[in-house]
Amino acid sequence: MPHLLPLEDAIRRVLRRSRARRRGRVPLGEALGLRLSRAVRADRDHPSFHRATLDGYAVRSSDRAVGRDPLEVVETVFAGSTPRVRVRPGRTSLVMTGAPVPPGADAVVRREDAVLLRGGAAVVLKTRPRAGDGVHRRASDAKRGAVAVPAGTVVTPRVTAVLAALGAVRPEVFLPPRVAVGATGDELRPASSRGLGAAAIRNSNGPTLEALVRAAGGVPLCLGSAGDSEAEILALVRRGLAAAEILLLTGGVSAGDRDLVPPVLARAGVRKVFHRVDLKPGKPAWFGANGRTLVFGLPGNPVSAQVTFALLAAPAVAAMSGNPDPGPALRPARLEGGARRNGARTAFLPAAVRRDREGRLVARLLPWNGSGDYVHFARAGALVRRAPRAPAARDGAACEVLLLDPGA
Ligand code: AMP
Ligand code: MG
């Protein structure tokens, strides 16, 4: 058997070459899910004034009249307006939520605790606040110039709230890698084809890998497919190298007579980093680099292509998008129903996965017909890792799983 690179080494070699390189400013609405490549600082104090947090009466907390005697109401301040009158002892201003607290006042008593006199020209407050009650202090969230959102933060809807409030409407982010996807094989027809000859099949890997790229946060570029000829594959490879940071090919990397992808990649100037990994399915996986462009030659079998994408290519996409912890993330789980003794290679087997009442992952192996069986594989939510020559596992044994749809 040719030398098989341990999977961990293969992942390490991929990640060593997967640096986030492209940065750029994007409109805030397009930044969702991307990572900030530079910290965003507060453009001014936040809040920019002492802000009333409720509708109520602004007072001096030290005023003995508060909570006891009538106070004269000297002004009403709405959100967006500027108070003009200083609050002195024996006086108060009615302020609305979001209005600036007038000078002199250091607390706001909620409206419900006020008894109105003379049609609201004066009030008796039933409670005595402490200094700061009902006030969102100026600069208490972020001082002008301070880092409000650190570099590396993923833009979530919550982060969008901060960026919008700071006026950072074109944040600088790590631009996700463009990933060109091309298939190889004489038997392939576009997925839209009807009336296929018996030996022809639809190119399902193209749409599959585009979906996987998108799910991993990359930007897919569709190259279509090439037949099993050096000239066709070379043309496809050149188009991919010119357009993307990552080139994904499927098919043509095994030991068959028409497995032309490795020699064609060499002709195109792509330097091999590894070929063949201790992995089932996915042993023929090929990886190399052309300058800064990473090239993956994934096996053509649809399940092998998906498994090798999840273990090798998805981490590259994540790392190039600025993720410092790009995976693949193996999680502890219990193996319901056990497993048979494993063969000589590290295996990743399709499994249904759920959480038990304590929230722990529970996986159960699914029946399937091997790496060409995309139908049963589609029912899997996870892959169970089995070590080389692992003995049979009993029901409930500890195992490790890779979730296939981590966000779902
Ligand atoms: P290969 O890796 O080229 O030896 O292909 C292995 C198996 O995967 C063969 O049965 C191919 O017909 C199948 N296959 C290759 N490429 C694709 C593709 N793009 N879509 C679906 N099946 C494919
Ligand atoms: Mg082939």
- pLDDT tens, position by position, 357-388: 999 999 999 999 999 999 999 999 999 999 99
- The predicted model gives 332-346 an average pLDDT of 98
Mean pLDDT of the chain: 97
Q: Whose CA is nearest to atom 12 of ligand 1?
A: 187
Residue-wise pLDDT tens digits, 79-93: 999 999 999 999 999
Residue-wise pLDDT tens digits, 49-103: 999 999 999 999 999 999 999 999 999 999 999 999 999 999 999 999 999 999 9
Instruction: State which ligand 1 atom lies nearest to the alpha carbon of 183.
Output: 19
Q: Is the dihedral of CA 215, 275, 365, 336 positive or negative?
A: negative
Q: Whose CA is nearest to atom 15 of ligand 1?
A: 300
How far does the centroid of ligand 2 lie from the alpha carbon of residue 179, in Å? 21
Q: Which backbone phi and psi does 101 adopt, to 5 degrees?
A: -75, 130
Surrounding residues of ion ligand 2, Cβ less than 5 A: 185, 251-252, 300
Q: What is the dihedral of CA 85, 89, 95, 100, to 10 degrees?
A: 60
Given a cut of 90, is residue 407 above it in pLDDT? no
At residue 2, the pLDDT reads 61
pTM above 0.85, yes or no: yes
Residues in contact with ligand 1 by the CB-under-6-Å rule are 183, 185, 187-188, 201, 203-206, 250-252, 254, 256, 299-302, 372
Query: From the CB of residue 67, how many other CB atoms can be counted at a distance below 10 Å?
Result: 16
Given a cut of 90, is residue 258 above it in pLDDT? no
Given a cut of 60, is residue 33 above it in pLDDT? yes
